[in-house]
């Protein structure tokens, strides 16, 4: 099969990989229909995080092609969403909702297991990992939104859930990438009364507004803090959602959080120093990390299928397998919010 | 009047201070009945935190002696509990439950306002700060428990609330000082199913068990982590309560927290480095800080008055005003869990 291969920083090639086969009776082989590039993929693309040479991509939807003998609940030919991590669903961490720390779990596109930026993937623990999409004949727009449930929409939702966003809350979203935009949409879905999006990119500002942002703050650094505090009458926001992971974005999130609130943190941290003393004396807490997407997919899927939310709008760039190198470059250069990769058809 | 005066590290003298008088119509003068020494007082006592030369002590109960014209809800002669910080109860932070960050608030025994380790205190914003104790003729044991509501019992409760302790949870309390012991009691009160107290002091272990600890872990460092993980079948605890504030105790709390859980942190941080990356990838969050005691007193007061909880047992040392220097030394040397100072009578 053909797949994108990470060869080193800024070096992605599309080449041949062995067709994946069933190793364990709990495996499934999924033929990829749509994949995409994650903001977190940019860390290794830029050489800022290590990544083994090999297959890549952890977000995809596809069609079940083969099933191990012990896989229940899904059938060949069904359309499925793959959460970006697989898990057994039964270990103490999974049962506690923290599927991302499943003792038997792992990730896709990590050098050992093929990724969603290729034609097919062996999915371990498929019965507890893959989520079947009901119905058929889904529109192109619907498929794009279904793809976001693999990671980005669940990650934005996790930011909002971690911060405890509730009806009427004033929320600020730091980061106007696809995760930040998804966090805006998730906050609106959870009933936030006011959503402040920090962005200085007209296209992203517009999308944030389409997703429910009521206020845009274009300032950065100290000026951004002051602008958000002004919007909130000097109090700070009920929930600050950190969707970038840099020291600067985290500092902004800390600064604009009202005393007693909890940050929702989903940006993979790079060079972040936590101002522990200040947070302590202001009773500002923090929760988050990688989202247990598998846990969130069912409830978000209902809202996607009935059209309540349309998170697929975050894809503003599209290519096929051969175009994957530029799909990364487009996001790296901020030409694209999020790059979709059309791999196959249903 | 007579009061304890901080003169510098390990130098506390008992001397004369001007009698406090009403400055503002919202002030009250409270004659102190019982005061005590806080674990956090030891930071300046040991020279590890700055403190101005002057009056000290932020925990006390006493009798209202004088009232400004604008103080409602309390009357002269009534027994009152002073939370360790005063506040107006009406600012956005107070209304949000974060009374410790009241925009008009402040602390006792801070150089400007007299403290609870003296004969009388001017209490600003008295109507929204002081809590009236109903009834009369309270026993000596009851008065000791009422005194804990000024700070230590509310702080232990805040650790448990911040970590979201719920019915059936497995809780670990790091720290066997008076706050840690109060956190054990608070966790039991909130319905924890199993409470692991980390202590290697027989007297404190016994008190932890009286307060509801089901397991004692005497190990420290890596060995403590392993012992707690063994108790929890390798999973970690639902709620780790950090009640010390050192780098070591915080590292222990992080290590024993199960993925997806939230630490409850109330030990004033000194030399703490947050292992942000590790916490992120394990989805271990953290909440806490100084307790908004004023918010918690009413519900805890009910349980104290009806005998459901008896937190006053943490006082295992008693002295009068003249004995305050040794009251500090006793806690510093761990001869005492918590030192009570008998200042006046009802």
- Closest chain A C-alpha to B272 CA, distance in angstroms: 8
Return the H-helix or E-strand segment holding A93.
helix A92-95
Segment B258-262 shows an average pLDDT of 97
Ranges B17-26, B178-187, B214-223, B263-272: which has the least confidence: B263-272
Residues A178 and A167 in one domain: yes
pLDDT, chain B, mean = 96
Q: Which residues of chain B have a CB within 8 Å of the CB of A272?
A: 276
Give contacts of B 225-254 with A, CB under 8 A. 233, 235
Best A101, A169, A251, A264 residue to mutate vs chain B (most B CBs within 10 Å): A101
Chain B residues closer than 8 Å to A101 by CB? 259-260, 282-283
For residues B181 and B204, the answer to whether their CB atoms sit within 8 Å is yes
**Residue B278, domain extent:** 156-288
Residues 6+ apart with CB under 8 A from A341: A34, A35, A36, A37, A57, A117, A318, A319, A320, A321, A323, A324, A327
Claim to verify: residue B137 and residue B192 sit in the same structural domain: no
Residues A52 and A85 in one domain: yes
List of chain A residues whose C-beta atoms are within 8 Å of the C-beta of residue B43: none
- Burial of A270 from C-beta contacts in 10 A (0-12 / 13-18 / 19+): middle
Q: Across residues B44-59, what is the average pLDDT? A: 95
Residue B6 sits in the same domain as residue B46: yes
Q: What is the pLDDT of residues B277-313, one digit of tens each?
A: 889 999 999 999 999 999 999 999 999 999 999 999 9
CB–CB contact B280 A259 (8 Å): no
Q: What does the pLDDT read at residue A275? A: 83
**CATH number for position B33:** 3.90.180.10
* pLDDT at residue number A234: 93
β-strands A262-265, A285-288 pairing: parallel
Q: Does B98 touch chain A (CB under 8 A)?
A: yes
B40 Cα distance to chain centroid: 9
Query: Which of A273, A278, A287 should one mutate to test binding to chain B, selecting the residue with the greatest count of B CBs within 10 A?
Result: A287
Q: Which residue does chain A place closest to B277, by CA atoms? A: A269
Is B285 in CB contact (< 8 Å) with chain A?
A: yes
pLDDT at A72: 95
Of B92, B101, B262, the CB nearest to A283: B101
Report, as an integer, the average pLDDT of B169-197. Answer: 98
- Nearest chain A Cα distance for residue B343, angstroms: 30
Interface test with A, best of B106, B245, B280 (most A CBs within 10 A): B280
DSSP state of A270: B
Print the SS3 string covering A156-183. Answer: HHHHHHHCCCCCCCEEEEECCCHHHHHH
Which residues from chain B sit within 8 angstroms of residue A288, using beta carbons? 280, 283, 285
The per-residue b/e assignment along A201-229, b for 16 or more CB within 10 angstroms, e otherwise, is eeebbebbbebbbbbbbeeeeeebbebbb
Q: Are A276 and A308 in the same domain? A: no
| Stronger pLDDT, B254 or A275, i.e. the higher one | B254
* Residues B51-61, mean pLDDT to the nearest whole number: 96
CB contacts, 8 Å: B280 with chain A: 265, 268-269, 288-290
Residues A170 and A228 in one domain: yes
Task: Chunk chain A into consecutive blocks of 10 residues (it has 346) and report each block's average pLDDT, rounded to whole numbers.
Answer: 97 96 98 97 94 96 98 97 97 92 93 93 98 97 98 98 98 97 98 97 97 97 95 96 93 96 93 86 96 97 98 98 98 96 95
CB of B106 within 8 Å of any CB in chain A? no
Query: What pLDDT score was predicted for residue A271?
Result: 81
- Chain A touched by B202 (CB under 8 Å): no
Residues B255-284 have a mean pLDDT of 92
Q: Does residue B130 have a pLDDT over 90? A: yes
Q: Pick the last residue of a domain from A244, A267, A288.
A: A288
- Tokens representing residue A233 in the block: 């009458």
Question: Strands (DSSP E) along A175-307, which ranges?
Answer: 194-198, 215-217, 239-242, 262-265, 285-288
Q: What pLDDT was estimated at residue A340?
A: 98
> Is B214 part of the contact surface with chain A (CB cutoff 8 Å)?
no
Note whether B102 and B176 are same-domain residues: no
Interaxial angle between packed helices A293-305 and A152-162, expressed in degrees from 0 to 180 and rounded to the nearest 10? 110
Looking at the structure of chain B, the number of domains it has is 2
- A106 at B interface, C-beta within 8 A: no
Same domain (yes/no): B263, B280: yes
Order of strands across the sheet that contains B11-16: B11-16, B2-8, B54-55
Pair (A56, A169) in one structural domain: no
Q: Judge: B288–A285 Cβ closer than 8 Å, yes or no.
A: yes
Question: Can you read off the two tokens belonging to residue A215?
Answer: 């206020």
What distance in Å separates residue B267's CA from the closest CA in chain A? Answer: 9
- Please give the model's pTM, rounded to 2 decimal places: 0.95
Q: Final residue of a domain: which of B268, B288, B308?
A: B288
**Given pLDDT bands bounded at 50, 70 and 90, which one contains residue B82?**
very high
Domain end among B288, B304, B333: B288
Q: Are residues A73 and A105 in the same domain?
A: yes
Res B276: pLDDT: 85
CB atoms within 10 A of CB A49: 14
Element (H, E) at A322: none
Strands (E), chain A: 2-8, 11-16, 28-36, 54-55, 60-67, 79-82, 85-86, 106-107, 120-123, 131-132, 170-174, 194-198, 215-217, 239-242, 262-265, 285-288, 317-320, 339-342
In angstroms, the CA A111 to CA A91 distance is 25
Please indicate, yes or no, whether residues B23 and B53 belong to a single structural domain of this protein: yes
Question: In this structure, what CATH number is given to the domain that contains residue A206?
Answer: 3.40.50.720
Q: For position B11, what pLDDT does the model report?
A: 97
| Model pLDDT, residue B313 | 98
- Length reported for chain A: 346
Selected residue of B162, B260, B264 to mutate for chain A interface (largest A Cβ count, 10 A): B260
Over residues B334-345, mean pLDDT: 96
The pLDDT > 90 percentage for chain B reads 94
Q: Same domain for B64 and B111?
A: yes
Report which of A94, A111, A112 is spatially closest to residue A103, judged by C-alpha positions: A94
Q: In degrees rounded to 5, what are phi and psi of residue B199?
A: -160, 150
């Amino acid at each position: 099969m053909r797949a994108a291969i990470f060869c080193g920083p800024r070096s992605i090639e599309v080449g041949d990989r062995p067709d994946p086969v069933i190793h364990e009776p709990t495996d499934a082989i999924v033929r990829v229909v749509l994949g995409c590039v994650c903001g977190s993929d940019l860390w290794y693309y830029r050489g800022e995080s290590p990544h083994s040479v090999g297959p890549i991509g952890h977000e995809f939807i596809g069609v079940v092609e083969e099933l191990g003998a012990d896989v229940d609940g899904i059938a060949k030919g069904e359309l499925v969403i793959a959460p970006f991590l697989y898990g057994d669903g039964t270990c103490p961490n999974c049962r506690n909702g923290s599927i991302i720390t499943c003792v038997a779990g792992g990730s896709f596109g990590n050098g050992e297991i093929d990724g969603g930026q290729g034609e097919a993937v062996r999915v371990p623990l498929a019965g507890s990992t893959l989520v079947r999409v009901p119905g058929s004949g889904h529109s192109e727009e619907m498929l794009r939104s279904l793809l976001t449930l693999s990671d980005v929409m669940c990650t934005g939702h996790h930011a909002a859930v971690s911060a405890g966003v509730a009806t009427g809350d004033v929320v600020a979203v730091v980061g106007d990438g696809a995760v930040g935009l998804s966090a805006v949409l998730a906050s609106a879905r959870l009933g936030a009364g006011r959503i402040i999006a920090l962005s200085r990119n007209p296209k992203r500002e517009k999308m944030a507004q389409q997703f429910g942002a009521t206020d845009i703050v274009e300032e950065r650094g100290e000026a951004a803090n002051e602008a958000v505090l002004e919007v909130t009458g000097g109090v700070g926001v009920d929930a600050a959602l950190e969707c970038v992971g840099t020291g600067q974005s985290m500092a902004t999130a800390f600064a604009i959080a009202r005393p007693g609130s909890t940050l929702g943190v989903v940006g993979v941290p790079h060079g972040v120093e936590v101002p522990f003393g200040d947070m302590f004396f202001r009773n500002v807490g923090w929760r988050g990390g990688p989202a247990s997407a598998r846990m969130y997919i069912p409830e978000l899927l209902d809202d996607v299928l009935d059209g309540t939310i349309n998170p697929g709008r975050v894809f503003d760039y599209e290519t096929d397998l051969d175009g994957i190198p530029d799909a990364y470059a487009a996001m790296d250069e901020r030409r694209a919010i999020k790059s979709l990769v059309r791999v196959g058809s249903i």
